[in-house]
Structure 1
Amino acid sequence: MTRSKRRTRRLLQVAGAGAAVLMALSACSSSDDSSSAAAGSSAGSSSSPKLSGAVTVFAAASLQESFTTLGKEFEKQHPGTKVSFNFGGSDTLAASITGGAPADVFAAASAKTMATVTDKNDAVGTPATFVRNQLAIATLPGNPDKISSLKDLTESGLKVVLCDKTVPCGAAAQKALDASRLKLTPASYEQDVKSALTKVELKEADAAVVYQTDVKAAGDKVEGVNFPESAGAVNDYPITLLKNAPNAAAAKAFIALVQSAEGRRVLTEAGFLKP
């Protein structure tokens, strides 16, 4: 074999070896890419599912403004969801839940009304207190009757309304009156705090014992008067996931929002106290 032929043969051998190496590297790269894609697909499938559907929240009437705000925020954070509220007296809501009304979340204005639900095993786990609320007197704008204390509400000729004693705001008002040894016969007992407040807003009553949050929400429609006895009748507000919640996943997420920093901000701005 001539020197020229030997050189050509050696070059072909080197080229073949190089091609083999390139093919091996290409195979490894393809394998790695496939593995990465498979891993990515696996990770995506294991992430939490997207929330959707309706969430029904039964909540104390005093939570109306703040929960409505949080409901809109929840829908914004989770497109495809819809939060529906049933606001009212906590005792009435609790009775509806134990009677089988479909709901996902219950937020009550007292531990006593929440116990109506937990005693029937209609709640999941232990309800968590997320805020507290304190009483105040709502008077007509400008406070024409010069009401400055709880005792002033007992003056003859003054038309005062209270929440029913079975409702948390009514029970708290009665506790404050008993502690002060005061007797008050109201013009009417209302089924929830918003109904009591409305009587003053419509000038159908001279004053009402409501929550500080309700006075704040009413703006210039009423004037608020704080009284020291209210410090001994502060209500804790518990919230819970309900056992037969139709949309438990979204319900848990709504409760998490209520308890989050954003939820605390909205509730604090509404006048609620930290738990």
Structure 2
Amino acid sequence: MAGAGVAALLALSACSSSDDASPTSDPSASSASEKVSGTVTVFAAASLKESFTTLGEDFEKAHPGTKVTFSFGGSDSLAASITGGAPTDVFAAASPKTMAIVTDAGDVTGAPATFVRNQLEIATLPGNPDGIESLKDLTDPKLKVVLCDRTVPCGAAAQKALDGAGLKLTPVSYEQDVKSALTKVELKEADAAVVYKTDVRAAGDKVEGVEFPESADAVNDYPIALLRDAPNAAAAKAFIGYVQSAEGQKVLTSAGFLEP
């Protein structure tokens, strides 16, 4: 009888231990092991091109059977495409204002999350032959300066910096996304452009970067969101999770983005 009582107590203890372990188990463990597959379609701001391309490749390696396809461009144009019905899983915008175009239309599931921030920098010709040292220097009428259009985040941020400094600047052109503005300098069609630090870094020795203090007051938050009618919601959630993970953040910060 004593032996039977001990066995019963041991069995009860084992059940109790099992029940206690369940609530404290890592909730991410099941989602991490959950298999996802298929194509994830991501619309992302042009300034994310290099880092998101890397993240897409890394995500595909971590999740065999998946494929990440990207459409990069001006955030306002991408938002218009989404609200117009373009089949998309994930939207990563370069400002809350452009994300609001999509959220206000009811095309987002849940609340968008800021995953990185970005700061402006002046891109000049290699070697900075015009000796540009400040935002004010760009107002020299002899210089050919390019800005992003004010409707896109990089242009809105540049205008905010100019207004904060009390400066007026008439560019030779307004470009629809930050890469187009940078390309004008790379092709020597412009002497300078106001772009993001990440774009200057990605361009390598094709341009030279000049920091300016006014950029600190015009930093852009980058939100990311799962779209309501996402064709592949499960894989889209996994991709967003990867972007926000330590591994994803390492790729983004190494490209020059600021932590959220």
Asked whether 1:127 is paired with 2:108, we answer no
Could you say which residue in structure 2 is the equivalent of 1:214? 199
Q: Could you say which residue in structure 1 is the equivalent of 2:51?
A: 66
Amino acid at match of 2:128: N
Q: Paired residue for 1:153?
A: 138
TM-score normalised over the length of structure 1: 0.83
1:157-196 alignment to 2 at 5 Å? 157-196=142-181
**Alignment partner of 1:94 out of 79, 83, 103:** 79
2:209 is the alignment partner of 1:224: yes
Equivalent residue number for residue 125 of structure 2: 140
> 2:238 corresponds to which letter in structure 1?
A
The equivalent of 1:251 in structure 2 is 236
Q: Tell me the equivalent position of 2:189.
A: 204
Taking the aligned partners of 2:259 and 2:230, their CA distance within structure 1 comes to 27
- The separation in 2 between residues aligned to 1:100 and 1:225, in whole angstroms, is 40
Alpha-carbon separation, structure 1, partners of 2:158 and 2:227? 29
The aligned residue for residue 28 of structure 1 is none
- Cα deviation for residue 49 of structure 1 reads 4.7
The CA distance in 2 between the partners of 1:119 and 1:225, in whole Å, is 37
Partner of 2:64: 79
**Aligned counterparts of 1:250 and 1:227: Cα–Cα separation in 2:** 40
SS of the residue corresponding to residue 272 of structure 1 reads coil
Name the CA distance, whole Å, in 2 between partners of 1:167 and 1:152.
23
Gap runs ≥5 in structure 1 = 1-45
- List structure 1 runs of 4+ shifted beyond 3 angstroms: 46-49
RMSD (Å), alpha carbons = 1.0
Amino acid aligned to 1:158: L
Deviation at 1:50, TM superposition (A): 2.1
In the alignment of these two chains, the number of paired residues is 230
Structure 2 partner of 1:5: none
SS in 1 for 2:78: helix
- Looking at structure 1, the residues matched to 58 and 214 of structure 2 have their Cα atoms a distance apart, in angstroms, of 36
Percent identity of equivalent pairs: 82
**CA distance in structure 2 between the partners assigned to 1:126 and 1:100 by the alignment:** 20
Gaps of 5+ in 2: 1-29
